[in-house]
């Protein structure tokens, strides 16, 4: 159910934008960490990014589509970045 209160929607829009930017930063951190072989930190950064996406997505569902189309587009792009991170093959070091 989408809410139509303009003040509430503006606050949600700001929160969503913050979560998107925060999550994208952690996606980059995860990618860098995995590239450097720091798997535990990569996993942590990935989880933080997933949590940020979950929050952004949950609040985006409450925004009216018309005036906040750009915010909703940013959330969709964020989802694409999250999906790419989750699909990325991560080399697990051998214990042998």
Q: Compute the C-alpha angle 65/68/71, nearest 5°.
A: 115
| Res 75: pLDDT | 97
Contact predicate 13/74, CB 8 Å: no
Answer yes or no: is pLDDT of 13 > 70: yes
**Which are the contacts of 8, defined by CB distance < 8 A and separation ≥ 6?**
62
Average pLDDT over residues 39-65: 93
Does the structure show a pLDDT above 70 at 7? no
| Cα–Cα nearest to 74, from 57, 86, 54 | 57
Residue 13 near residue 75, CB atoms below 8 Å: no
> Tokens 């697990």, residue?
92
């Amino acid at each position: 159910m989408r809410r139509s209160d303009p003040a509430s929607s503006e606050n949600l829009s700001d929160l969503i934008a913050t979560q998107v930017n925060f999550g994208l930063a952690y996606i980059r951190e995860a990618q860098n960490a995995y590239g450097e072989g720091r798997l535990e930190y990569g996993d942590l950064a990935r989880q933080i990014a997933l949590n940020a996406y979950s929050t952004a997505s949950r609040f985006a569902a409450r925004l009216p589509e018309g005036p906040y189309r750009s915010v909703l587009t940013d959330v969709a792009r964020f989802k694409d970045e999250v999906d790419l991170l989750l699909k990325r093959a991560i080399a697990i070091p051998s214990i042998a």
